[in-house]
Structures are given as C-alpha cells and as structure tokens.
Chains A and B, each alone.
Chain A
Amino acid sequence: MNESFKPRDHLFGLALAGGYVMWLLRTARTLGFARDEGFYFRAASDYARWFSLLFSEPMRAVQQASIDPIWTSNHEHPALMKSLFALSWMFLHEKHHVFTDASTAFRFPGMLMSGLAVYVTYLFAARLFSVRAGIVAGALLALMPNVFYHAHLACFDAPIMAMWAACIYVYWRSVVRGGLGSAILAGVMFGLTLETKHNAWILPAVFVPHALIVLWPKLREPLRQGILPIPANLLAMATIGPLVFYTLWPWIWNDTIPRLQEYVNFHVHHEYYNMEFLGKNYYGPPSPPLYAPIMIAATVPAITLVLFAGGFLASLRAVLTRLRDLIVSEWRRVPPRANGAEAELLLLLAFVMPLAPFFLPKTPIFGGTKHWMTAYPFLAVFAGKAFEVAARWLEHLLAHRPARMQKLAFAGFSIAVLAAPVAVTAHSHPFGLSAYTPLVGGTAGGADLGLNRQFWGFTTQSLAPYFERAPRNASVFIHDTAWDSWARMLDERRLRPDLRAVGAPHDAMYSIVHHELHMAEVDYAAWVAYGHVAPDFVLTHDGVPIVSVYKR
C-alpha cells in the first residue's frame, strides 16, 4: 500500500485520463463506423425521443404505451450507455453544438468511459504501489492498440472495461474504509456496471471469494453458531445493484420477468459468429484454449507483457504466501488486511475472472479480444507494479551517482518502456483490429499466423480517397458495413454523399470486400458478377490487404 498517496495525486490520473480523451477526440473523425455502432446510433436516436418526452411530459413518458415502441429498439442490451449516447447527442450536438459530428457526440460517453478506465487503473496502481506505477499503468492500458480502437466507439466494450475496474475499485475502497456509505456506493456502482453490459454478472466471482478470505476471521465464529453474516458491501450489491439495474432500464419496467428471461436467453444462446484463429475459421465452441493467450501476446505490446509477467508473478507469490498462512491457521497472528496481499488477491481475481470463460469448452471465440478487455486494467496494474520495482532497482544501482544522472537514467528507462507502446498504438489507427504487435511481426505477422484481419466492417471509411474519383451517384455494394453506419458516414461527409449503397455485387458499380477468412465467398461472388478477378484497388495496412474494391 502506498501510504504517501495524497489527494492531489488524483490530478496525475485525471490528467492522464483527460489527455487520453483528447487524443480519442482528435482521432475520431478518421475512424469509420463499426457495424454495431450503426445499431447503437439508431437505438440512441430512438431513446433520445423518449428522453425528450420525459423532459416535457414525464407522466406520459413512464407509461408503457410510450416506453415499449421506443425501448424495444436493441433491447438485448441494458440501457446505460445507449442512454448516455442519446443524452450526449441531444445536448452536445443538437442543443449546444459542442461537436460538429453527431457521431462524435454519440461516441463521447464511450471515450469518457475509456478515460475513466485509465484513471481507475492509475488509482489502483498509485494507491497500492506508487504514483509513478499508477502513471505507467494508466499509460500502458491506454497504449494497447485494441483498447485504443474500442475506446473510440459508441459501443459497450470500453465502457464495461471501465465500469468493471471502477466497480472493483469502489468495492475495494469499501473494504478498506468500511461503513454504510461506502457499502451503498458499492451497491450503486454494481448496479451501474450491470446496466453497462452483461460481463458484470461475472463480478460476484471476484467479490465473493475475496470477501470470504479477507473477512474469514470475522466470519468464522458466527458460522460456527449457524449464522451467515453477509458483509454490508456484498449485501448492498445484492440488493441495490439489481434495483439500479431495474430503475435505469425502462424496457424492463413492464412485463419484467419475461423480458429479463429474453435478455438472459439472448446472451446464453447467443448466435455464433465466425472468427479466424491460426488460419482456421471457428464457428462456435469449443474455444481453442490457446486463443486468449495467443491473442493477448499478439495484440498487447511486448514490453507491457514483460512488465505484467513480473508484476503478476510477484503478486501471485505474495498471495500464495498469505493463503498458506490461512491454511496453517496463522491467520489470527497476522489478521487479514485490505491493503496488503489481500488487495493483490483482488487484482488477481479481477484479472483472471474475465479470462476464465475463454478456457471453458462451451465458450465460442467471436469478438476477439474485446470480450476479455475487462482484464486489461489489471494487466496494466501488474505492469505498473513491476515498473515501480524496476525503478527502485535503478535508483538503488545509481544511488551514489549525481542526482542529474539519476534523473536522466529514470527518464531513459521510462522512455524505453513507453516509446514502443506509443508508436505501435499511434500507428495502428485507424486499423486497430487489423494491427498486431511487433512480437508476432506486426500486421503482416498477424496475417502470416492466420489471425483475424478485422470484423464489423469498420474499415470502409478508409476507402474515401479511392471513392473520390468514382462517377457521380455510383452504386457501391457495402458488404459488412451496417446500413446505419454507411448512412451516417455519408451524412457526415466522411464518404462522398452521392454514393449509393446496394445489397448485392451484381447491383453495384463497385463492390467492396472486407477481408476475413469466412468472407471469401463475397470475393468470389464479385468475380462472377463482374467477370474478372482483379480488384481495382486494395486498401492495405502495412502491406496487408484490408479491403478489396472491384469495379464493374
């Protein structure tokens, strides 16, 4: 525990988070819209109508006749982020014109959430280890190409990463500080996390084992008497959490049970999507056990991974030592502390639990790394811990050298750690899902290995310069681009607004093909439709085909 953490140290984390949000805003215009964003733009636009009604006629707004026609839109996901997208659009685009692009207003809450993830990562590492560990941890989270990509989007993956970390942070603080207020805050936070995305339902697997170990001495005696004492924070999460979940989601205000059943069934029986891994297309479970480890190794910068390995192993060792104490009944001599190895146990659980489902035989692998991104803040915290240890070694090694030399050495060490993640992440834009790290040979190395090139058709906008020379009103088969995403790109003049989208290559003057293994049939359909196999243009990232364009 870093006892020297002061209130003003929050400023470092806030600056880091603010800088990240600014970077996201500056690069948002050059990133095209992903498939799912198209769906959420539409849902948020629908919800905005309801919020308008709520502000003008609240009594009418809460009636089922007003709720159902609007909130049926995209009701397979809870409401928090889409509500924020809607409110951001209403106030920051429509009313106050803060953002010129409607899409940036829709995306802004997701960007703020990404900033929150950086801030909470900083806080964890800064409070547990040191401020500089916090700064490096926050920066290393921000400097992961896949995180940087998702952080731009009006989707739920970066927000659930942020809320997962924030909820665990609030829970931890409630353990450290105790008291009813912090317990209630934990309950509210859990409800907000449930309202963000369904990953939150895994959180009890983090909290319950942690609470059992930390509170074991207090629980032992009541348990002997047949009483099951439930800690206030867990009780708050079990009660206030679902209440917040219910309150913020108008769709489930009516016909609650069947609609909740539908929500659960949608995710339990989610349709499978195709995903390439090591040159093979997977279309459903079982998930290859190496999928998550290899994808992490291929998408997280190597220096981050090396630091993480050091920090993780050190924490694991500390935690195992404490658990051994528990087993040999020395717990009474060294009572559990919320801030020692017990806090690191929380970090371990928070890192492991999001990854655990991907080692189960029934978990499909669609969605790539975004489905375990909730583990990444903790990966970065472990990296921050290792950085702090190494920085102390460096200080010790140079203890007898002049102060100026010590400062230079530390600066050099910090640059050595951060330079590659900065370069790799900045270069990955706007091809974040296609980019792989130098460890596997970059984007071309990822292609050599047969790793997924992209999904969601988000690269369409990068064809804008090519389509500048297309004839007026040219028709384009838009392949994996969602119709709503295409329409918004035209609305915002990211693509030439006279271009016309069509649903089949044979109807189009141009056909685009997003390169993914299972999309090969679309390539071949274009060959047959146009009678030739040569694309007119191939969009590449580092020499690797991303999108082919065929011209009639």
Chain B
Amino acid sequence: MPVWARWGVALLCLVGVWELAAHVWQVTHVPSDGDWAAARKVVEGKLKPTDLVLFAPGWSEPLGREHFGDRIASIERMARPDESRFLRAIEVSMRGATRGEIAGWPVIESERIGPFTVRIAENPHPVPVKDDLVTRVQPERMTLARVDGEAVSECAWTRSQVQSGGLGAGPAVPEYRFMCPSGGFAGVTVMSPSDYSARRCIYVPPAGGATVMRLTFRDVAFGKILTGHHTIYVEADYAGNHGTPVVLAFSSRGQSLGKFTRRDGQGWTPFETDTRDLDGQTADLVAEVSSGSAHRRVYCFEASTR
C-alpha cells in the first residue's frame, strides 16, 4: 500500500462531503419572491427617467422583468440601442455579477438587499438624445414611400394583426405599421442580431433591385451628430458575407448626410455622421433603405440625433 494511501481515502471523503455541502448551499441560497420585491422597492425609490436598469448576471433578466414590471424594466431599457443615452445605470446584481456594458462607469452608490446588490453607476460620457427616430414611427411624424424609379407609392399607416412565429420566423411584424400597396412595410419591432441581444428598431426590409424604401421623418430636431445602428436578423446574417449588402442613406434638405452599408456578419453595426451644419435646427430627415436583392434581407435600423 502506498504511503499516501490514507491521504487518498481522506481526499475522496473530503470531495464527497464537499460536493454534498456545496449542493445543499447552492440549492438553498436562491433569491425568493420577497427578495425580488425588496430590491424592486429600493430601485423604485432611486429611479429617474434617464436611468438605465440592468440585471446581473444577464440570465436573471427574465426574472427582473417579471418582478420589476414594464414601468421599471421598460422596453426602452431592455431593448436599448446602446447605453450612451443614459445618465446613470441602476444595476441589480446577484452572485457578485456585473454587466460588461457599464464596466468603467464609476459606482456612486451601492446597497445590499438580501441576496442582491443594487449599484448606481454614473455614465462618464453620456450623449443625450435630441430626437429618436424609433419614437417617430407614427403617421403624424413620419411617412413611408416605396420608390420604384419614377413611381412613388405612398404607404398607408395601418393597424393589422401582429405577425410572429417561433424559432426562425424572424422578428415580429408589429401591429401598427406603414404598409405599401405594392409590398413592403415599416414598423417598430425588437430584433435579435447575431449576439442575440434585444434591439428595438425600425423594421423596414428592402424591396430589392432598384427599389428604395423612403422614410421621411418630419421636423427632426438636429444636433451635432446623427448616430445609430443597423442589423440583419441573426439567422439571415450570414457570417460568410453571402447576402447582398443593405444600404441606408440619410439626407435632409436635399443634402446627403451619409450613406452606410450593412454587410453580412457585422452584428449590431453602429454608424455616425456629422450634422453640425444642422445643429439646433428643425428639418425633415429622409432615410432610404435599398439592397440589390430582397432575399433574406430582414433588416432594421435605429437612429437618433444628439
């Protein structure tokens, strides 16, 4: 028998007992509904409209949405384009987790509530929004036209059945949307880009060929920049760059503000253009979406003036 045999037996006993003890600890230290309610109460007391709310680790977010409700865990916060517009973030953390999105934001307040730590972090470089195009998708503030060469068809604002499905169905087509007589639509949905994050955006699939989907946003308040993101639904976003690129072109008062090409495999792609010439002014903003092919171009974008 080797001299270390006794240690071998002891080690096995130790591993077995440790595993049992760890299991008991892990299954009994789970946040209760009461813990979630207590955390919600604290967050409600601290929350400002310009705050972001985050749940850490990310997998706890469905529980956060369930317990905090739509007013706190709002769609604007849960399906945000990015974090830059928020002045502060309130992070509801358990298991010592933190969200990467706010890494580097200085924590100005931290409070322990049962199994949770509620932290308030300040955005070191906030870029407040002047006008958010996603909020303008309504008939009073936007029009949609399908442009086929010389022919321009206006698209009507409609209320129809939501179109949704299971895996592979793509983003839901919203209840309220612009519908074009010869095909095509635009409306606000929540898209899943290749990182599977939730992104609220204007769903406007290009019609293919030379056809342009023209969105005209009325009386947009301009700032120094026009910034945004665009993407293609994850299952249509071939990493091998097989799909036809989608082009998003902005203009105002007949002047081009920038043209952004979304190629496959780029995820939630940011873009930004300088609008200092229009800073402080109000004018119509035209966004034109086109692609050589409509095949699997399940496309959406969001943009805001800052």
A contact residues vs B (CB 8 Å cutoff): 281, 301-303, 306-307, 310, 390, 392-394, 396-397, 412-413, 416-420, 423-424, 427, 437-439, 441-445, 447-448, 453, 477, 479-480, 503-506, 515, 517-529, 531-538, 540, 542-545, 548
Closest to A477 in B: B166
Interface presence of B210 (CB below 8 A): no
- Report whether B74 and A533 are in contact in the complex, using a CB–CB cutoff of 8 Å: yes
Question: For the complex, what is the distance from the CA of A306 to the CA of B189, rounded to whole Å?
Answer: 50
Contact A423 B23 (CB under 8 A): yes
A416 with B70: CB separation less than 8 A: no
Any chain A CB within 8 A of the CB of B171? yes
The interface bits of chain B over 7-22 (1 if a CB of A lies within 8 angstroms of the residue's CB, else 0) are 0110111011111101
- For chain B, residues 58 to 97, give those with C-beta under 8 angstroms from any C-beta of chain A: 59-60, 62-63, 65-66, 68-70, 73-75, 78-79, 95, 97
Asked if B46 is at the interface (CB within 8 A of a chain A CB), the reply is no
CA distance A529 to B161 in the complex (A): 9
CA gap between A184 and B124 in the complex, in Å: 77
Residues B1 and A396 in contact, CB atoms below 8 Å apart: yes
Query: For the complex, is B167 an interface residue (Cβ under 8 Å from A)?
Result: yes
The distance in angstroms between the C-alpha atoms of A419 and B3, with both chains bound, is 27
Could you write out 28 A-B pairs with CB less than 8 Å apart? Answer: A310-B8, A390-B12, A393-B1, A393-B6, A397-B1, A416-B12, A439-B19, A439-B22, A444-B30, A504-B164, A506-B172, A521-B170, A522-B167, A523-B62, A524-B171, A524-B191, A526-B164, A528-B164, A528-B172, A528-B174, A529-B164, A533-B78, A533-B79, A534-B68, A534-B73, A540-B63, A543-B63, A545-B63
Residue in A307, A480, A544 whose Cβ sees the most chain B Cβ within 10 Å: A544
**Chain A residues near B95 (CB-CB < 8 A):** 444, 448
Is B66 touching A521 in the complex (CB atoms < 8 A)?
Answer: no
List of B residues within 8 angstroms of A518 by Cβ: 167, 196, 234
- Known contacts A524-B79, A534-B66; A397 and B6 CB within 8 A of each other: yes
- CA gap between A441 and B60 in the complex, in Å: 15
Task: List chain A residues, Cβ under 8 A from B161.
Answer: 506
Extra 8 A-B pairs, beta carbons < 8 Å, given A390-B12, A438-B26, A506-B163: A306-B11, A416-B17, A438-B19, A521-B234, A527-B198, A533-B79, A540-B63, A545-B63
Q: Which residues of A contact B151 (CB under 8 A)?
A: none
A125, B60: Cα distance in complex, Å: 43
Contacting pair A442 B26 (CB below 8 A) = yes
Known: A306-B15, A525-B172, A534-B70. A424 touches B23 (CB 8 A): yes
Chain A residues contacting B78 (CB-CB under 8 Å) are 533
Neighbour of A442 across the interface among B11, B27, B79, CB < 8 A: B27
On chain A, the residues within 8 Å of B73 by CB distance are 533-534
Contacts of A392 in B (CB 8 A): 1
Q: Count A-B pairs with CB separation below 8 Å.
A: 193
On whether the beta carbons of B5 and A393 are closer than 8 Å, the reply is yes
Q: For the complex, what is the distance from the CA of A363 to the CA of B15, rounded to whole Å?
A: 34
* Contact status B27-A527, CB under 8 Å: no
Q: Chain A residues near B69: list those with CB within 8 A.
A: 534
Q: How far is B19's CA from A441's CA once the two chains are assembled, in angstroms?
A: 10
Q: A517-B196, A542-B26 are in contact. Are A533 and B59 (CB under 8 A)?
A: no
Central interface residue in B69, B164, B197, by most chain A CB within 10 Å: B164
Check: B278 CB closer than 8 A to any chain A CB. Answer: no
Nearest opposing residue in chain A for B60, CB measure: A545
Q: Residue A528 contacts which of B16, B162, B197 (CB distance < 8 angstroms)?
A: B162
Partner among B19, B65, B163, B167 whose Cβ is within 8 Å of the Cβ of A420? B19
Q: Is the CB of B196 within 8 A of A537?
A: no
A550 vs chain B, min Cβ distance (A): 10
Q: Contact check: which of B11, B26, B75 meets A527 at CB < 8 Å?
A: B75
Given known pairs A503-B165, A519-B167, A520-B192, the reply for A423 and B70 (CB within 8 Å) is no
CB of B126 within 8 Å of the partner chain:
no
Contacts of B190 in A (CB 8 A): 524-525, 527-528
Which of chain B's residues 132-191 have a Cβ closer than 8 Å to chain A? 161-167, 169-172, 174-175, 189-191
Q: Chain B contacts of A442 at CB under 8 A?
A: 22-23, 26-27
Q: Is B31 an interface residue (CB 8 A)?
A: yes
Structural contact, B196 and A394, CB atoms closer than 8 A:
no
Interface centre among B59, B75, B190 (most CB of A within 10 A): B59
B270 within 8 Å of A (CB atoms): no
**Residues on B with beta carbons closer than 8 Å to the beta carbon of A424:** 19, 23
Point out the residue from B16, B97, B164, B189 that lies within 8 Å of A505, measured CB to CB: B164
Determine how close the nearest CB of chain B comes to the CB of A117; give it in whole angstroms: 23
* Residues in chain B near residue A504, CB distance under 8 A: 163-166, 169
How far is it, in angstroms, between the C-alpha of A480 and the C-alpha of B24 when the chains are bound?
31
Q: Are B59 and A447 in contact (CB under 8 A)?
A: yes
B268 at the interface (CB under 8 A from A): no
Is B292 at the interface (CB under 8 A from chain A)?
A: no
Contact B23 A427 (CB under 8 A): yes
Is B57 an interface position by the 8 A CB rule? yes
Closest 6 pairs between A and B when the two form their complex, measured CB to CB = A543-B30, A528-B172, A442-B26, A420-B19, A438-B22, A416-B16
* Contacting residues, chain B, for A529 (C-beta < 8 A): 162, 164, 172
Given A394-B9, A538-B62, A540-B63, A303 and B15 touching (CB < 8 A)?
yes
Query: Is B222 an interface residue, CB under 8 A from the partner?
Result: no
**Contacting pair B172 A420 (CB below 8 A):** no
Q: Which of A310, A423, A531, A535 contacts B62 (CB 8 A)?
A: A535
Q: Which residues of A contact B1 (CB under 8 A)?
A: 392-393, 396-397
In the bound complex, how far is the Cα of B26 from the Cα of A517, in angstroms? 23
* B63 and A538 contact, CB distance less than 8 A: yes
Query: A303 contacts B12, CB within 8 Å?
Result: yes
Chain A residue numbers with a CB within 8 Å of B6 are: 393, 397
Q: Give Cα distance in the complex from A90 to B167, angstroms.
A: 35
Contact A525 B79 (CB under 8 A): no
In the complex, what distance in Å separates the CA atom of A525 from the CA atom of B235?
15
In the complex, what's the smallest C-beta–C-beta distance from B212 to chain A, in angstroms? 25
Complex interface: chain A residues within 8 A of B299 (CB): none
Nearest to B164 among chain A residues (CB) is: A525
Q: Which of B1, B27, B163 has the most CB of A within 10 A?
A: B27
Instruction: Give A439 to B18 CA distance when docked, in angstroms.
Output: 10
> A533 to chain B: which residues have CB within 8 Å?
65, 70, 73-75, 78-79
Looking at the assembled complex, report how far the CB atom of B10 sits from the nearest CB atom of chain A, in whole angstroms: 10
Q: Is B233 an interface residue (CB 8 A)?
A: yes
**Which residues of the other chain, B, contact A505 by a CB distance below 8 angstroms?**
162, 164-165, 172
Chain B residues closer than 8 Å to A303, beta-carbon distance: 12, 15-16, 19
Query: Across the two chains, which residue of chain B brings its CB closest to A419?
Result: B20
Residue numbers in A under 8 Å from B172 (CB-CB)? 505-506, 524-525, 527-529
- From known contacts A281-B196, A396-B5, A533-B73, infer whether A302 and B12 are also in contact, taking CB-CB under 8 Å: no
Q: Give the residues in chain A near B166, CB-CB below 8 Å.
A: 477, 479-480, 503-504, 522
Which single residue of chain B is at the shortest CB-CB distance from A547?
B62
Residue on A nearest B16 in the bound complex, by CB: A416
On chain A, the residues within 8 Å of B57 by CB distance are 447-448
**What CA separation (Å) do A521 and B194 show in the bound complex?**
11
Question: Separation in Å of the A490 CB from the closest CB of chain B?
Answer: 19
Q: A393-B5, A396-B5, A518-B196 are in contact. Are A419 and B27 (CB under 8 A)?
A: no
